[in-house]
Structure 1
């Protein structure tokens, strides 16, 4: 059966048509879209209803020409394994897209070509193409070359993680040390006197801050801090943890620097014939994690972990970036947000 010719597509609704339908001026429609605080509530409701009824969509290209904004934020996506993705950064990306959308912006993901370790050329290409208003950078390290590069180039940016002392303080972070100090207080309040900290090597600034925060607070509280024996090169972390858990003088609680090392603790505890969990539930070794990734709720027992305020972090990053884009003065110091300890059966 042959189909007849398709009807012509209806032209997009114009701002003038919205104005006529609402019985207002073109400028009032523009104010409704861009400065609603200038419009009386009854007029705002009438114009908004006309916009919804007619399906009006602002001309973003015209708006970009007028304001100079591309309404797009570039996010330098961390390298990840698609078959074993980082659940924390996936959650952060979700929060970032929502936060940008709330400000009328999109997020453009980019990264260097496969195998390239230096992101600066990819940043330069994106900025030269004038595709984005600015950049969000994550996993910021001490002396991060990306931060120095964009700062020298005058590119607006906001970093998830602290920048160096001599660099612009355009960052948002959590207080990793304070979060782990709260973990130490939680364990001490439950009666633990011998504790340990389990984490990969603390060469990453956030892991180092977590280790120092936990150890300092544990010692201040008078807890005995035990350390796993050094693992042989290439040996699994579980082996060192098992050695730590042998004997009567073992720790009764182990705090992990993230959720994945907590899985090693679970395995080591069980391999030694012990039970994960707080004493109130009949457990031998309390365990805590950090990041509160989805796996925490599905472990048995469910894992106590520190939850990052990802939506608040993303919203603060977008506000910080757009303030620079719009020529407002940036803060002289970064923004530190508090994390939340979510207590579950692994430490009760």
Structure 2
């Protein structure tokens, strides 16, 4: 016969009061990292599962957080968002919340209607968002309606809302500076279509670093396409088809997927990646280390981002003040052979 683990059992294991455990799991108080770790370890070791049905009746809360999946123009997977959501689910479930995912459309009126109805029916207590764009209408709607939400990504610097982001400008600044240190002056950029907020931040890092070192950027070095291996392949061919005097010797890509396509295009043209042409990516996908040559890329603290977005949302749901509404995390350049290092 299985013995039900109680809140008091967790408290005894963690060496704190059961009131502390209850408030921490609900996101109602902030404790030291040591205490947080001990509580999480006790929950995991004992297999504690709260009585969700009883709690929902008592609090009249669905204990659900909404997340809208946008079907893009391609069927390419989005591993960074998958990592973000995995981290978010982990943190949410530690606080007895779960994610409700739903499909949204590019038609913004239909999308807004979905957000409005889910919250009006109390099917969710709030939302997390990702893959944001400039002046994102979802964020504007949630702000105007005063609906709890937190975003992985920014939308408009004048808007006052809770977001967590990785400093894409700094990541691409590190990348461009590294390529310059390898002796490159003709550095091209393969980026996303205009309107992507994350893309704009990464582009900013490239332009800023090139300007800081007095390097002229040929407009034909900036090429745009969707976040797929196919577009990386096609756009790299476009770059190396430039006349010899204009052809770049290094290419910085705003994602690893684009970089993989670019590397394959270079190899197909008989170029040695790393020596004939430097290529860098962004995101440090698991496969990037095992490419040949291994891909120089930028690693983002996605685990930390997912956890922070959930904590930010839960504070709003629990009517607690957001002491820090904007959290900007620093990425790290991972140097490998594809950049000629």
The answer on 1:243 being equivalent to 2:231 is no
4+ aligned runs moved over 4 Å, structure 1: 10-15, 80-83, 114-117
Residue 49 (structure 2) pairs with residue 61 (structure 1): no
Rg bigger for which structure?
Answer: 1
What are the ranges of 5 or more consecutive residues in structure 1 without an aligned counterpart?
Answer: 1-9, 278-282
For residues 91-106 of structure 1, what are the structure 2 equivalents within 5 Å? 91-106=83-98
Query: Could you tell me which of 12, 15, 22 is aligned with 1:34?
Result: 22
Greater relative CO (CA pairs within 8 A, separation 6+): 2
Other structure's SS at 1:119 match: helix
Q: Please, which moves more after superposition, 199-208 or 283-292?
A: 199-208
Considering only aligned residues, what root-mean-square deviation do their CA atoms show, in Å? 3.7
- Contact preservation (8 Å) 1:138, 1:161: yes
Q: Is the 8 A contact 1:169 1:331 kept in 2?
A: no
The alignment status of 1:206 with 2:198, answered yes or no, reads yes
Structure 1 residue aligned with 2:314: 322
After the TM superposition, which residues 82-161 of structure 1 pair with which residues of structure 2 at under 5 Å, given as runs? 84-112=76-104, 117=108, 118-161=110-153
Q: Which residue number in structure 2 is paired with residue 338 of structure 1?
A: 330
Q: CA deviation at 1:337?
A: 0.8
TM-score by length of 1: 0.77
Structure 1 Cα separation of the partners of residues 98 and 198 of structure 2? 28
Deviations 1:160-185 (A, max 9, x none): 11132453321111111111111111
Q: 2:258 is matched with which residue?
A: 261
Q: Does 1:197 align with 2:189?
A: yes
| SS state at 2:298 partner | strand
CA distance in 2, matches of 1:345, 1:163: 35
The corresponding residue for 2:64 is 72
SS in 2 for 1:137: strand
**Structure 1 segment 275-290 matched on structure 2, within 5 A:** 275-277=272-274, 283-290=275-282
Q: Distance in 1 between matches of 2:252 and 2:48?
A: 54
* Corresponding residue number in structure 2 for 1:270: 267
- Seen in structure 2, the aligned counterparts of structure 1 residues 116 and 200 have a Cα distance that, compared at 3 Å, is closer
How many equivalent pairs are there?
314
The answer on whether the counterparts of 2:237 and 2:266 sit within 8 Å (CA) in structure 1 is no
How far apart in 1 are the matches of 2:167 and 2:288? Answer: 21
1:163 paired residue among 145, 155, 161: 155
User: Unpaired segments of 5 or more residues in structure 2?
Assistant: 25-30, 226-230
* Pair 30,210 (structure 1): closer, same or farther in 2 beyond 3 Å: closer
Q: How far did 1:95 drift?
A: 1.6
1:215 equivalent to 2:215? Answer no
Q: Whole-Å Cα distance in 1 between the matches of residues 79 and 48 of structure 2?
A: 37
CA distance in 2, matches of 1:212, 1:29: 49
